[in-house]
Structure 1
């Protein structure tokens, strides 16, 4: 793939424009996934999309995959540092589909649960449901989101080379690195995503094309 330099501001504008164009093309809602390891800061890009989309007249709902993890009894069944469990079991993709994504299918209710589980407290968040209005955009961030048959209208993958990922991952999270290596090799998210962006240096992202 070719890497074309792009500023963080232009990247946010590009993604926001893509999402808005889909909404303005007649989609009842637009579900956007910003996929990447925590070191790639997918949440920061998702946050940067909120204002541009609202300026174009689209309601926006921010959701994080971190609020849809399984309870600790399931998540940590194989220990606290099992990379395969992190890859396969941590995300409650069934709940994410049921509570967030499926209600935004064509003909859906638009009634979304913005968070389900507080992983730190290991209890339900008890968040109230919210309704995303017509033409609204859901912005979901998190790691390991692609290749799970989850429905999105637009997907963005933020990728780091192995050395950059290791360098920017905190010491207490280094055990997750094999999960991201497996994800890159098996799922090939940079090829699956509608937009892939190299963020070895977050100040100088590069759009991957070709």
Structure 2
């Protein structure tokens, strides 16, 4: 095992075993039997080490998402994605709190990848006419709600003892984000935003729209404003 891998493995174990998730670089160096210069050479500083720990721990969770092929029902994929996200947090509370700590000034790569996967599924839903808002806004709504629920469950178990609460919040958020198939007789306040979100998603995926790059960007901005308008 390389020195970097040994340091990372030890740091991940100490984070998991810590009562509050806090670790010191000194403790990591002692447990890994390396000097501080070796740790800083491989990770830059403590934040770099902790970011690597998060990516290391989150990698197995993301692997299931990377390997999962797209189904024909992106909404079901997103429901399962919410549930697996919360389940991961409950099984790895210290790691999850660390991942979402304000002290992490630079988001770990795993967090960025998770957001990208979520947005991809939402773009698929939008292309099928199933979104009320633009994919990026939907991703922000879902990710903030999922993270909030997961953090409350792992950080305030006495106040939030019911894990089933996650499904209730999931369904409430999804009801605000997704729409049933819009029929020709649907109310304008429902039909227009959904149609705008659908057209915006299709335009992003199209390479032959007949619009210039600037025109396509402007059209996408307009469609996002229509789909995201408060109603």
One fold, TM greater than 0.5?
no
Which protein is richer in helix relative to its size? 2
TM-score, length of structure 2 as denominator length: 0.23
TM-score, length of structure 1 as denominator length: 0.24
Higher relative contact order, chain-length normalized (CA < 8 Å, sep 6+): 1
Greater C-alpha Rg:
2
